[in-house]
Amino acid sequence: MATKTLHISLPDELDSFVQRTVRSGRYEDENEVVREALRRMEAADLKEELAQFERAFAGGRGRAESDEDIKRVEAAVQAGRKR
C-alpha cells in the first residue's frame, strides 16, 4: 500500500491524548494512533451508510416496491454520495 506523508495540527487536548496513548504502549507511535482513529472513523461512516440503506429497504420483503420505497432508497443513495 502506498503511503503519503501529511503534516497535521492538533489542539493541545488531542495532542495530549495522542501522546498518552503512545506512552500507554498500545501504539508504537503517533502515526499508528492517527491511522487507527481514521480507520475507526471510516468504519463508523460505513456502518451508518449501511444503516441508512437498511432503513430505506425496511419492510420491503415479500411485496412489490412502492413509490415511497423507491424515494427512500434514492434519498439514502444521495445521502451516501454527499459524504
The reported pLDDT for the residue numbered 82 is 65
What single-letter DSSP state applies at residue 66?
P
Each domain of the chain, given as residue ranges in start order, spans 12-81
Q: In this structure, what C-alpha cell is assigned to residue 58?
A: 425496511
* Contacts for 49 with CB less than 8 Å, ≥ 6 apart: 80, 83
The reported pLDDT for the residue numbered 60 is 58
pLDDT digits over 27-61, tens only?
Answer: 999 999 999 999 999 999 999 888 877 777 776 56
